[in-house]
């Protein structure tokens, strides 16, 4: 029987111990991330059902001008909130979403008023979130997935999971390659323990590519590692093209835009396509939602609104027509008014399904000319891959197929984690065993391997700060365990 050389045996022992620590200590966080992510990608259809009374309308007839729809929404919310964006009804039977910002809303949150485009009836209000415009049900799931409803502190949990997931996958692949292949069919069926081990390995093999994808795309949203990703993108020039809304206009030019545009408010939406995922709905937001009846109230519109254009958005229909003429042809659009009289209107396609339609133009309200544009077809390939990766992670790129694939992977990952804990529980020693520590495996490594592992650990700790901090905790626990075993 061929025996392993000492250097190879030491490396396998080291990777085995590290894989075990990741599974034992980080496994629960990965499980929670997989559970909440699976629930998120499975609920778009449920959201359409729960909020059908504000998302859909039975009224028939041609849509009223967008300016009048905005006027109806403005009358519903009053003069305080700042008009942030308008999302015209994407299809017959759907409602127009007029979005406002105001103090008390979380980052990336807006107060959306849903207007029947045919009758101008206000069907209700909801707090919505992110570029995807998700409603409270999925917003809660999104926050759970992102930060467990603990704000910035909670974001460390998901970053911890994303930072270690790919390391666990690569370590598992290495262990399978070095020895797991010997536990095949005939040998594995003789032992329940080996059957569980083989099943754990097979699931990992089938999911490996997808899990690395989950980890990489998840890190782009993370708090600390996300900053490093942005630094790398800036250095490599992997920046998503963006438009400019600034206009070359004299300071004393007459105001042509929303008189509420100067009110302070946040945008919250990351122009690179990220959803923000910051914080959660505050008590103030809940009060706003309650005061305006949530999605259950209908508000009738005075007759003069049906005939008078909205002063703050009188140019809206002309701006939309100019954007359409410039090639903005997606059904799902978001129109943002300028904040002052030296800015252009911003019209963006927001259809992230396949084929992706995310072109954006800026339109000068004085001349109705396009002053800036960013077309997805002209994006660098890396920017396209980032866009597609984010959308696939969220389960929207390929519709239901994407949802089913992401959910299946999430469920399989959860099963694999439970199986891993079952394997550990069945073999756990009653007392600490000397020699079964990371430190002992480290000492057995050759000097070149020690140097390589140490250098890699330093690089990863800088790139992934949460990983670095948790690695220090692993080492401390391992040291304490070694002391107890000794």
**What is the structure's pLDDT at 434?**
65
Token digits of residue 45: 């259809």
Q: Is the pLDDT of residue 339 over 70?
A: yes
- Provide the mean pLDDT of the chain: 85
> Which H or E run includes 129?
strand 122-129
Provide the CB-side half-sphere exposure for 216 (13 A, CA): 14
Could you tell me which residue, 311 or 151, shows the higher pLDDT? Answer: 151
Could you tell me which residue, 369 or 3, shows the higher pLDDT? Answer: 369
* Three-state secondary structure of 353-417: CCCCECCEEEECCCCCCEEEEECHHHCCHHHHHHHHHHHHHCCCCCCHHHHHHHHHHHHHHHHHH
C-alpha distances (whole Å) from 237 to each of 234, 249, 360, 376 are 5, 31, 20, 16
Confidence band, pLDDT 50/70/90 cuts, at residue 7: confident
Query: Could you read off the pLDDT of 243-296 as tens digits, one per residue?
Result: 999 998 665 544 444 333 333 333 333 433 344 443 333 333 333 333 333 444
Confidence band, pLDDT 50/70/90 cuts, at residue 481: confident
Q: Is the pLDDT of residue 425 over 50?
A: yes
Could you tell me which residue, 356 or 300, shows the higher pLDDT? Answer: 356
Q: Which of 105, 91, 108 is nearest to 55 (CA)?
A: 91
Q: Which residues contact 157 (CB under 8 A, 6 or more apart)?
A: 29, 32, 33, 147, 148, 150
Query: Could you read off the pLDDT of 44-70 as tens digits, one per residue?
Result: 999 999 999 999 999 888 999 999 999
Q: Which of 333, 346, 173 is nearest to 258 (CA)?
A: 346
Q: Is the pLDDT of residue 441 over 70?
A: yes
Q: Is the pLDDT of residue 358 over 70?
A: yes
Confidence band, pLDDT 50/70/90 cuts, at residue 308: very low
Separation between Cα atoms, residue 91 and residue 147, nearest integer Å = 34
Q: Is the pLDDT of residue 161 over 90?
A: yes
**What is the structure's pLDDT at 299?**
54
**What is the structure's pLDDT at 486?**
65
Q: Is the pLDDT of residue 462 over 60?
A: yes
Please state which of the ranges 294-298, 409-413, 440-444 shows the lowest mean pLDDT.
294-298
What is the pTM for the complete model shown? 0.85
Confidence band, pLDDT 50/70/90 cuts, at residue 433: low
Q: What is the DSSP track for 43-100? A: -HHHHHHHTHHHHB----SPPPPHHHHHHHHHHHH-SSSEEEEEE--SSTTB-EEEEE
Confidence band, pLDDT 50/70/90 cuts, at residue 309: very low
**Which ranges of 237-311 does DSSP label H, i.e. alpha helix?**
283-291
Q: What is the mean pLDDT of residues 76-80?
A: 93
Please state which of the ranges 162-166, 235-239, 261-265, 363-367 shows the lowest mean pLDDT.
261-265
| In the chain, % of residues over pLDDT 70 | 82
**What is the structure's pLDDT at 459?**
96
**What is the structure's pLDDT at 223?**
92
**What is the structure's pLDDT at 435?**
67
C-alpha distances (whole Å) from 217 to each of 31, 60, 390 are 17, 43, 6
**What is the structure's pLDDT at 469?**
96
**What is the structure's pLDDT at 189?**
55
Q: Is the pLDDT of residue 175 over 70?
A: yes
Q: What is the mean pLDDT of residues 328-346?
A: 95
Please state which of the ranges 200-214, 292-306, 313-327, 368-382 shows the lowest mean pLDDT.
292-306
**What is the structure's pLDDT at 191?**
77
Query: Could you read off the pLDDT of 101-154 as tens digits, one per residue?
Result: 999 999 899 999 999 999 999 999 999 998 889 999 999 999 999 999 999 999
Separation between Cα atoms, residue 170 and residue 163, nearest integer Å = 12
**What is the structure's pLDDT at 385?**
94
């Amino acid at each position: 029987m061929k025996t392993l050389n000492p250097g190879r045996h030491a490396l396998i022992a080291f990777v085995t111990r590290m894989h075990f620590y990741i599974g034992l200590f980080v496994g629960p966080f990965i499980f929670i991330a997989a559970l909440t992510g699976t629930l998120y990608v499975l609920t778009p259809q449920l959201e359409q059902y729960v909020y059908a009374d504000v998302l859909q309308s039975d009224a028939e007839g041609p849509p009223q001008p967008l300016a009048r729809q905005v006027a109806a929404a403005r009358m519903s919310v009053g003069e305080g909130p700042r008009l942030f964006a308008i999302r015209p009804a994407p299809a017959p039977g759907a409602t127009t979403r007029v979005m406002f910002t105001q103090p008390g809303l979380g980052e990336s949150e807006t107060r959306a008023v849903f207007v029947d485009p045919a009758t101008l009836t206000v069907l209700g209000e909801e707090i919505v979130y992110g570029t995807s415009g998700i409603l409270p049900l999925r917003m809660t799931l999104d926050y759970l997935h992102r930060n467990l409803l603990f704000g910035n502190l909670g974001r460390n949990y998901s970053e911890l999971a994303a930072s270690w997931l790919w390391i666990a996958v690569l370590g598992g692949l290495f262990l399978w390659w070095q020895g797991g292949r010997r536990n095949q069919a005939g040998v594995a069926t003789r032992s329940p323990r080996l059957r569980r081990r083989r099943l754990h390995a097979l699931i990992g093999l089938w999911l490996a590519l997808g899990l690395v994808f989950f980890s990489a795309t998840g890190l782009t949203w993370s708090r600390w590692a996300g900053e490093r990703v942005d630094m790398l993108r800036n250095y490599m020039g992997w920046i998503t093209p963006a438009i400019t809304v600034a206009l070359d206009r004299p300071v004393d030019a007459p105001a042509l835009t929303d008189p509420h545009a100067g009110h302070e408010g946040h945008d919250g939406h990351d122009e690179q396509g990220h959803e923000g995922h910051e914080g959660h709905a505050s008590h103030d937001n809940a009060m706003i939602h309650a005061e305006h009846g949530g999605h259950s109230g209908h508000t009738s519109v005075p007759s003069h609104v049906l005939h008078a254009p909205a002063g703050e958005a009188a140019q809206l229909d002309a701006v939309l027509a100019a954007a359409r003429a410039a090639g903005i042809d997606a059904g799902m659009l978001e129109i943002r008014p300028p904040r002052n009289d030296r800015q252009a209107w911003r019209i963006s396609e927001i259809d992230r399904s396949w084929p992706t339609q995310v072109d954006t133009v800026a339109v000068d309200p004085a001349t109705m000319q396009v002053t800036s544009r960013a077309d997805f077809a002209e994006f660098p390939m890396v920017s396209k891959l980032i866009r597609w990766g984010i959308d696939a992670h969220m389960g929207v790129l390929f519709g239901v197929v994407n949802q089913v694939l992401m959910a299946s992977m999430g469920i399989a990952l959860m099963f694999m984690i439970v199986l891993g804990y079952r394997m550990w529980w069945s073999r756990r020693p009653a007392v600490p065993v000397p020699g079964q520590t990371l430190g002992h495996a480290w000492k057995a490594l050759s000097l070149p391997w020690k140097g390589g592992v140490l250098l890699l650990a330093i690089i990863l700790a800088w790139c992934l700060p949460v990983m670095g901090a948790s690695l220090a905790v692993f080492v401390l626990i391992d040291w304490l365990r070694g002391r107890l075993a000794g």
